[in-house]
Chain A
Amino acid sequence: MWRKFILIVAVIVGVLAAVGWWYLVRQVPDNYASDEEHFKYASIGMEDSAGMPYWLWLVMPRMFPEKLPGPGGYTSLGITWEEGKEMPVGFTKTTIGIPRVGVNCAACHTTAVRKTPDDKPQLILGGPAHQFDIQAYQRFLIACAKDSRFTADAILKELTYTHRFSFIEKAIYRYVIIPYTRRGLLEQEKQFEWMNLRPDWGPGRTDMNPFKLMVLKLKDDRSVGNTDMMAIWNERKHEGFQRHSDGLNPMVNEASYAAALATGATGKSIDIAAIQRVNQWLLDLPSPKFPFPINPKLAERGKLLFDQQCTMCHAFGAPRVGKLVPLADIGTDPNRAQHWTTEAATEFNRQFGKYSWGFSHFQGNTGGYVAPALDGIWARAPYLHNGSVPSLQDLLKPVESRPKTFYRGYDVYDPVSVGFISNVESRRGRGFFKFDTALPGNGNGGHVYGTTLPPADKTALIEYLKTF
């Protein structure tokens, strides 16, 4: 009698465990033949902790379009699909029990550019994702979860148009996936509260504060660490460079793992091998060629000026390139250089030092910004560490004549000023982000080099910079 009972219980528990494993835990590794596809679509290990169930992710824009900055679903956040692809570039679809969506390196490191408004966007892998508003993306998902229509009934009803769930799947979604996703997003809302006390990132920018406040759980010192996303091509040439705009770490591996943690991966879930494959490929990924004609004569004249005025800090192999320039010298907005404290760096090294791939090189209170090499500089607009100057032309202007406000997020390029068009408020119903240089962390002062050159010299210099 007891034996039978135990046997029955064991079978029931076993079946439940198997069902639970299949729908919630089972991992199916993704495998991309080419490094490019791997970079664009492969998981780096954040879907388990911070991924969004695929079917929910798919219908959120259809259920809550009013919470997006424009029509076009996720595209209105600067998210871009290649023709024919199920997922946008930088977005992963991977199975952990159920299909889940995450982001990877490409989300923040792929530049979309159009030559004219009617063109399709061209994607530059490894370039800064100046068009993608990752903060708005996160806030959109949270806003969906907060909405009273975010219920199992409503979501499953919307999904009947898209996907036929099995009976078990439906139950799992109704009783586990949907409520837990909602709870997770509401939890994130609390964790992200500090963002509401600071200027918005806008498209193409990010911050180290998520580590300080959410991972290391340090006290909120109200610092602003907003910084422009970076280009990550030509890594071999950048060996030994200080990483992050404020020079937090000289090791590319540590910087890339930190970036993966920023997407939501944890010390346990991070996929080091997947990131290593990306890093390996980035070693020799070339920077993109300027897609418009260049006047070679003018560029040649510009080279003379560059060699005189800029080389010291901005040419590969030059004495100061890749090294920190103190705030007092560079004069750009100080917020970012002050937000990552020694305390944060020490704690970061300590908490993640225990892993085999762990951190030991993070430093804080660097008090300056790294002088970057300028490979592919045309594609790296807006300029300065905080993306506060829309074009090279503007950067060569005296500080007081640089634009006080401008729009970020539009991917149509202006080959004259060398930067993305920044005076267009909206396109196809998508409102762009108004960048206000008066806000904390957004100052466009400093880096006054070359601002006093005669106009003809500036033109020549800019022409030369197009060849980078």
Chain B
Amino acid sequence: MQPLRTVSRKKTVLRVLFLFAGIALVVLYLLWPSISNGVVDYADIRDHFKYGSIGSESANGIPYWIWKALPELFADKLPGKGYASLGFIQEEGQDRPVGFSKRRVFIDRVSLNCGVCHTGSVRDAPGAAPRIITGMPANTMELESYTRFLLACANDERFNVDQLMDAIERVGGRLNFVERYVYRHLAIPQTKAGLLTTAARLTFLNRQPQWGPGRVDTFNPYKALQFNFPMEKLPDEEIVGTVDLPSIWQQRPREGMNLHWDGDNSSVEERNKSAALGAGVTPVTIDLPRIKRIEDWLLDATPPAYPYPIDSALAAQGAPLYRQYCADCHGQDGRNLTGKYLGQVVAVDEVGTDRHRLDSYTYELLENQNTLFAGYPWRFSKFRKTNGYANSPLDGIWLRAPYLHNGSVPTLRDLLNAPETRPKMFYRGNDVYDRENLGFVSTLPETAGRRFFLFDTSLPGNSSAGHRYGLNLKAADKNALIEFMKTF
């Protein structure tokens, strides 16, 4: 009897072991997508820049399938079809528009990266294929509208588990039952709560003129999101800080210049980390190696050459004019970034441009910024309060329209006109190039079904005054100067 019993006991033990092993395998299989915490790496640096993760997903990402389903469920809150209708660049064959990264943090999440604000598009004519150009200011996408869309979705009663799960199915989400559980009980409620918190902090947006495409307020959202300042107590004089997005080529020669429009930071690296915070990373989640890859590339990345004909004789006439009137402040040309006053701050009273952006960056904010990245060797220490705007290099200036820090002057030709005669209103967001005036077409309210944003220079922060340089040049000289600047 004894041996028999032993055998059967052994058998039982084995059976139980097999059962557990089986269950473990099934659980592992089901959980695998979640626990294989992964980031997609792109071989091509440009793809990394446009679609790679910089670490903004864990704290500020939207679960992938929610993000996919929102335009389906809330189509009524978008001006057209999908996120592309907000001016984001959708490349063929890509799952997400440029600037949207994806990373698995338990579940796949979507967030923003550097490419969202620093990739633009240029068309030769309406209907022509766009040239997608990395490193240039995003000229068509509306970051504020995107933010408002997400917040409006969270505020809508349709943002609930049942309707979202249905919508996820409609957009092709095939979730297994573990994933379904996670979405139902964690992802959807948490995303809603997170967005509503953000919405409460961003109500100050209602006190600002609309950003429109290609613009962002850098430091007011910073006050609200990084530090939870009670924004309703901030005075009007600092509540509008909306600026044009900048180009980010050739960072090596920029090291030590006063960076940001008001020149508030002279360290490329610190400025980059600050911008990454704006994209949604935190000091804890920031993906330094992947940002480093971008930083290294940007050190010497150059803007593309002007793709349309240049009258070289005329450009040659413009060169000495440029040297005489512009080079001291803006560098010798598009590659030689040296000049007596280049990278230095000119007092706002002297340059005369709109002062809202300057005033939006306060000493009080700087004091709080000093605690960012506390505990890390790269804690912020280079921010300074200035009294004006920095002279920036003009590399790729043809791609950086509209001009001035607030993007209030549509073309270079307009900038060479007296402020009184610059356009009072114009349209932003068109990517068709205006070769005559150097800038994007700014006179059309819509093209091929896409409506553009009417920019009103009379609104707070939007003034096109100031920078009264070169105004008195003869028309022929202005032509020559503009022709020369096409070579930058």
Contact, CB under 8 Å: B229 / A81 = no
Expressed in whole angstroms, the minimum distance between the Cβ of A203 and any Cβ of chain B is 16
The answer to whether A83 and B383 touch (CB under 8 A), given A120-B363, A428-B364, is yes
A163 to B162, CA, bound (A): 36
A83 to B380, CA, bound (A): 10
Asked if A146 CB lies within 8 Å of chain B CBs, one says no
The answer to whether A84 and B234 touch (CB under 8 A), given A63-B228, A65-B229, A73-B368, is no
Contact, CB under 8 Å: B284 / A161 = yes
**Interface segment, B7-15, B371-379, B412-420, B422-430?**
B371-379
A164 to B366, CA, bound (A): 23
Contact, CB under 8 Å: B374 / A162 = yes
A162 to B383, CA, bound (A): 19
Contact of B374 among A80, A88, A163 (CB under 8 A): A163
Closest to B370 in A: A81
Closest to A64 in B: B228
Asked if A350 CB lies within 8 Å of chain B CBs, one says no
Asked if A196 CB lies within 8 Å of chain B CBs, one says no
Residues of A within 8 A of B235 (CB): 428-429
Contact, CB under 8 Å: B234 / A428 = yes
Asked if A121 CB lies within 8 Å of chain B CBs, one says yes
Contact, CB under 8 Å: B366 / A61 = no
Contact, CB under 8 Å: A85 / B370 = yes
Closest to B384 in A: A83
Expressed in whole angstroms, the minimum distance between the Cβ of A170 and any Cβ of chain B is 13
Contact, CB under 8 Å: A164 / B284 = yes
The answer to whether A86 and B363 touch (CB under 8 A), given A71-B231, A118-B387, A428-B235, is no
Contact, CB under 8 Å: B284 / A160 = yes
Query: For window 203-242 of chain A, which residues contact chain B by CB distance below 8 Å?
Result: none
Asked if B252 CB lies within 8 Å of chain A CBs, one says no
A83 to B364, CA, bound (A): 11
Expressed in whole angstroms, the minimum distance between the Cβ of B223 and any Cβ of chain A is 7
A88 to B379, CA, bound (A): 15
Residues of A within 8 A of B228 (CB): 61-63, 65
Asked if A72 CB lies within 8 Å of chain B CBs, one says yes
Closest to B355 in A: A118
Residues of B within 8 A of A164 (CB): 284
A257 to B368, CA, bound (A): 31
Contact, CB under 8 Å: A58 / B371 = yes
Expressed in whole angstroms, the minimum distance between the Cβ of A351 and any Cβ of chain B is 38
Main secondary structure of the interface of A (DSSP, over half): loop
Q: Could you say which interface size class chain A belongs to? A: 20 to 34
Contact, CB under 8 Å: A71 / B230 = yes
Contact, CB under 8 Å: A84 / B370 = yes
A121 to B234, CA, bound (A): 19
Expressed in whole angstroms, the minimum distance between the Cβ of B376 and any Cβ of chain A is 9
Residues of A within 8 A of B233 (CB): 70-71, 429
The answer to whether A161 and B282 touch (CB under 8 A), given A75-B368, A83-B366, A84-B382, is yes
Contact, CB under 8 Å: B229 / A71 = yes
Residues of B within 8 A of A35 (CB): none
Residues of A within 8 A of B230 (CB): 65-66, 70-71, 429
* Chain B 214-233 interface mask (CB, 8 Å, partner A; 1/0): 00000000010001111101
Asked if B367 CB lies within 8 Å of chain A CBs, one says yes
* Chain A 102-121 interface mask (CB, 8 Å, partner B; 1/0): 00000000000000001011
* Chain B 14-48 interface mask (CB, 8 Å, partner A; 1/0): 00000000000000000000000000000000000
Expressed in whole angstroms, the minimum distance between the Cβ of A340 and any Cβ of chain B is 36
Asked if B381 CB lies within 8 Å of chain A CBs, one says yes
Query: For window 103-144 of chain B, which residues contact chain A by CB distance below 8 Å?
Result: none
Expressed in whole angstroms, the minimum distance between the Cβ of B197 and any Cβ of chain A is 12
Query: For window 50-64 of chain A, which residues contact chain B by CB distance below 8 Å?
Result: 54, 58, 61-63
Expressed in whole angstroms, the minimum distance between the Cβ of A215 and any Cβ of chain B is 32
Contact, CB under 8 Å: B282 / A162 = yes
Residues of A within 8 A of B229 (CB): 65, 71-73
Asked if B338 CB lies within 8 Å of chain A CBs, one says no
Expressed in whole angstroms, the minimum distance between the Cβ of B374 and any Cβ of chain A is 6
Contact, CB under 8 Å: A71 / B385 = no
The answer to whether A62 and B375 touch (CB under 8 A), given A73-B368, A83-B383, A84-B381, is no
* Chain B 369-410 interface mask (CB, 8 Å, partner A; 1/0): 011001100010111110100000000000000000000000
In this complex, how many residues of chain B approach chain A with their Cβ under 8 Å: the count is: 32
A63 to B227, CA, bound (A): 9
The answer to whether A86 and B374 touch (CB under 8 A), given A63-B228, A162-B283, is yes
A121 to B366, CA, bound (A): 12
A163 to B365, CA, bound (A): 20
Asked if B362 CB lies within 8 Å of chain A CBs, one says yes
A62 to B233, CA, bound (A): 15
A293 to B158, CA, bound (A): 66
Expressed in whole angstroms, the minimum distance between the Cβ of B47 and any Cβ of chain A is 29
Expressed in whole angstroms, the minimum distance between the Cβ of B269 and any Cβ of chain A is 15
A120 to B363, CA, bound (A): 7
Contact, CB under 8 Å: A88 / B234 = no
Asked if B238 CB lies within 8 Å of chain A CBs, one says yes
Closest to B364 in A: A72
Asked if B59 CB lies within 8 Å of chain A CBs, one says yes
Residues of A within 8 A of B364 (CB): 71-73, 75-76, 428
A160 to B282, CA, bound (A): 9
Expressed in whole angstroms, the minimum distance between the Cβ of A173 and any Cβ of chain B is 14
Contact, CB under 8 Å: B371 / A86 = yes
Contact, CB under 8 Å: B227 / A81 = no
Query: For window 420-454 of chain A, which residues contact chain B by CB distance below 8 Å?
Result: 428-429
A70 to B365, CA, bound (A): 13
A63 to B382, CA, bound (A): 26
Residues of B within 8 A of A65 (CB): 227-230
A175 to B239, CA, bound (A): 41
The answer to whether A163 and B227 touch (CB under 8 A), given A72-B367, A86-B371, is no
Expressed in whole angstroms, the minimum distance between the Cβ of A163 and any Cβ of chain B is 6
The answer to whether A85 and B381 touch (CB under 8 A), given A71-B364, A72-B229, A73-B229, is yes
Residues of B within 8 A of A61 (CB): 227-228
Contact, CB under 8 Å: A62 / B387 = no
Residues of B within 8 A of A62 (CB): 227-228
Among A54, A66, A72, A88, residue most surrounded by chain B Cβ atoms (within 10 Å) = A72
The answer to whether A428 and B385 touch (CB under 8 A), given A81-B370, A162-B284, is no
Residues of B within 8 A of A80 (CB): 367
Contact, CB under 8 Å: B283 / A161 = yes
Expressed in whole angstroms, the minimum distance between the Cβ of A113 and any Cβ of chain B is 13
Residues of A within 8 A of B379 (CB): 86
Residues of B within 8 A of A85 (CB): 370, 381
Expressed in whole angstroms, the minimum distance between the Cβ of B157 and any Cβ of chain A is 27
A76 to B365, CA, bound (A): 11
Contact, CB under 8 Å: A72 / B284 = no
Contact of A86 among B223, B284, B370 (CB under 8 A): B370
Expressed in whole angstroms, the minimum distance between the Cβ of A80 and any Cβ of chain B is 7
Residues of A within 8 A of B362 (CB): 72, 428
A76 to B223, CA, bound (A): 14
20 contacts between A and B (CB under 8 A): A58-B371, A65-B227, A71-B229, A71-B364, A72-B362, A72-B368, A73-B367, A74-B367, A83-B366, A84-B382, A86-B374, A86-B381, A160-B282, A161-B282, A162-B282, A163-B375, A428-B234, A428-B235, A428-B364, A429-B233
In the A-B complex, the 3 residue pairs with the closest CB atoms? A429-B233, A72-B364, A81-B367
B residues in contact (CB < 8 Å) with A: 59, 223, 227-231, 233-235, 238, 282-284, 362-368, 370-371, 374-375, 379, 381-385, 387
Q: Could you list 9 further interchain pairs (A-B, Cβ under 8 angstroms) beyond the known A58-B371, A161-B282, A428-B364?
A: A62-B227, A70-B230, A71-B229, A72-B365, A86-B381, A118-B387, A160-B59, A162-B282, A428-B235
